[in-house]
């Protein structure tokens, strides 16, 4: 078992609040990703779990056992660091087996366990090399292997792929997920890369300014963000935002801003009625701006293309809608030119609205 529970967890560095009132349960064999910008508290949370930082407030439990006063080496939790933290004077074999040696595990068992893990990671031909003789991807595998040989109840990953090039990062993401499924381990993974979070996590924990903003599956936080920060942080390109006012006509609610008027599907409008006549923040994702439509129809508006950005499989269009800037994501098979005027239709089921003062999602 490896269920990890954080209750009102907090950490202060003097007057600086690094982690505040974090409540989170990571279920046995679950892969949970802590996501947020630099300085949001995600790495500090990981270090608190590992015992590398002293808890200021709250509790940490693993399978019902309180860990606050338990030494890091006795928590049965393995951590993989961003900089790999390999011993430069030790071979790959010695690095991977060092934790078992400290536990006084018999040498023959160390050899057996290290070979098993090295075979899983595909580094069994590197056992006699030193870290300086390895590539970045190989060092990452050694760091993973050092954690795996301990057979811990939980793994903690602190941005382990950030030092790799883009292609290798994609490859290692896949390898990590395969490894997680093979080991049936409980894992907590820290990253600021929302692509990593979306592709790897069973659930994502979005953090900002030491506080958890939202916890949910990747598609929950993408489709139903709890506030404007989450909506803007998840997605590439990020969600479009524009000032708008809530209107009502013929029983239909709308969001009207400079150059656009978007009616909202009645099935999605719960809560918006109390904002009629008030200012809100309109939101729509770039892929929910659908190319085409007749000017003058509901939810259709004219836009001028300011910039065309081909990115391979898609094209990003930077648009000017009567002074309101929007970004659209369209098919790469189409052709566009800067200065061209086109029409877009806003899907009424994909419109978002946020409270101007609190940023809380209304739609």
* pLDDT tens-digit series, residues 53-111: 999 999 999 999 999 999 998 999 999 888 888 999 999 999 999 989 988 999 999 99
Tell me how far apart the alpha carbons of residues 85 and 241 are, in angstroms, rounded to a whole number: 42
Neighbours of 89 (CB within 10 A): 10
Percent residues over pLDDT 70 in the chain? 100
pTM attached to this predicted model: 0.91
- What are 10's two structure tokens? 């907090």
pLDDT number for residue 182 = 83
- What are 73's two structure tokens? 């080496």
List for the chain the helix, strand, coil content (%; round to 5).
30, 35, 35
Helix and strand tally (H, E) in the chain? 8, 20
Tell me how far apart the alpha carbons of residues 323 and 278 are, in angstroms, rounded to a whole number: 21
Q: Helix, strand or coil for residue 297?
A: coil
pLDDT number for residue 150 = 85
- What are 164's two structure tokens? 């790799």
Over residues 324-346, the mean pLDDT reads 94
The sheet with strand 154-158 has its strands ordered as 77-80, 154-158, 186-191, 31-35, 203-208, 211-216
Tell me how far apart the alpha carbons of residues 330 and 156 are, in angstroms, rounded to a whole number: 38
Q: Are 91 and 130 in contact (CB under 8 A)?
A: yes
Q: What digits encode the pLDDT tens for the residues 274-290?
A: 999 999 999 999 999 99
Whether 295 shows a pLDDT value over 80: the answer reads: no
Tell me how far apart the alpha carbons of residues 226 and 274 are, in angstroms, rounded to a whole number: 18
> Which residues are within 8 A (CB) of 151 and not within 5 positions of it... i.e. 6 or more apart?
none
Residues in the chain: 363
Which domains does the chain show, CATH number per domain? Answer: 4-233 (3.40.50.300), 240-355 (2.40.50.140)
Mind giving me the DSSP string for 88-129? TTS-HHHHHHHHHHHTT--HHHHHHHHHHHHHHHT-TT-TT-
pLDDT number for residue 297 = 81
Whether 1 shows a pLDDT value over 70: the answer reads: no
- What are 112's two structure tokens? 């057996």
By CB atoms closer than 10 A (0-12, 13-18, 19+), residue 291 is middle
- In the numeric block, the tokens 């990115």 are attached to 311
Whether 34 shows a pLDDT value over 90: the answer reads: yes
Q: What digits encode the pLDDT tens for the residues 181-239?
A: 888 889 999 999 999 999 999 999 999 999 999 999 999 999 999 999 999 999 989 99
Over residues 286-299, the mean pLDDT reads 87
Whether 327 shows a pLDDT value over 80: the answer reads: yes
Q: Are 187 and 30 in contact (CB under 8 A)?
A: yes
Residues β-bridged to residue 157: 80, 189
Whether 143 shows a pLDDT value over 80: the answer reads: yes
């Amino acid at each position: 078992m490896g269920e990890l529970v954080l209750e009102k967890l907090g950490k202060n560095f003097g007057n600086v609040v690094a982690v505040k009132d974090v409540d989170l349960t990571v279920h046995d064999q679950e892969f949970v990703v802590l996501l947020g910008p630099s300085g949001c508290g995600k790495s500090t949370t990981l270090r608190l779990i590992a015992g590398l930082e002293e808890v200021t407030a709250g509790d940490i439990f693993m399978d019902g056992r309180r860990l606050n006063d338990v030494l890091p080496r006795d928590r049965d939790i393995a951590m993989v660091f961003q900089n790999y933290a390999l011993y430069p004077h030790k071979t790959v074999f010695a690095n991977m087996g060092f934790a078992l040696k400290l536990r006084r595990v018999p040498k023959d068992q160390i050899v057996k366990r290290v070979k098993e893990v090295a075979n899983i990671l595909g580094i069994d031909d590197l056992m006699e090399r030193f870290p300086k003789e390895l590539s970045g991807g190989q060092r990452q595998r050694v760091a993973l292997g050092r954690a795996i040989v301990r057979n811990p109840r939980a793994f903690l990953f602190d941005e382990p792929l950030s030092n790799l090039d883009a292609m290798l990062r994609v490859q290692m993401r896949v390898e990590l997920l395969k490894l997680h499924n093979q080991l049936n381990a409980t894992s907590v993974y820290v990253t600021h890369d929302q692509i990593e979070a979306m592709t790897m996590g069973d659930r994502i924990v979005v953090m900002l300014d030491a506080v958890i903003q939202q916890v949910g599956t990747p598609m929950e936080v993408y489709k139903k963000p709890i506030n404007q920060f989450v909506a803007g942080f998840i997605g590439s390109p990020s969600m479009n935002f524009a000032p708008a006012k809530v209107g009502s006509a013929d029983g239909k609610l709308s969001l009207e801003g400079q150059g656009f008027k978007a009616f909202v599907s009645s099935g999605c409008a719960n809560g918006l009625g109390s904002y009629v006549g008030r200012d809100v923040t309109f939101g729509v994702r770039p892929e929910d701006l659908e190319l085409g439509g007749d000017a003058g129809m509901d939810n259709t508006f004219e836009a001028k293309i300011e910039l065309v950005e081909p990115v391979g499989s898609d094209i990003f269009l930077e648009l000017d809608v009567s002074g309101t800037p929007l970004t659209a994501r369209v098919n790469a098979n189409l052709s566009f030119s800067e200065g061209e005027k086109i029409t877009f239709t806003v899907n009424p089921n994909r419109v978002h609205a946020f409270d101007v003062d609190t940023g809380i999602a209304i739609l």
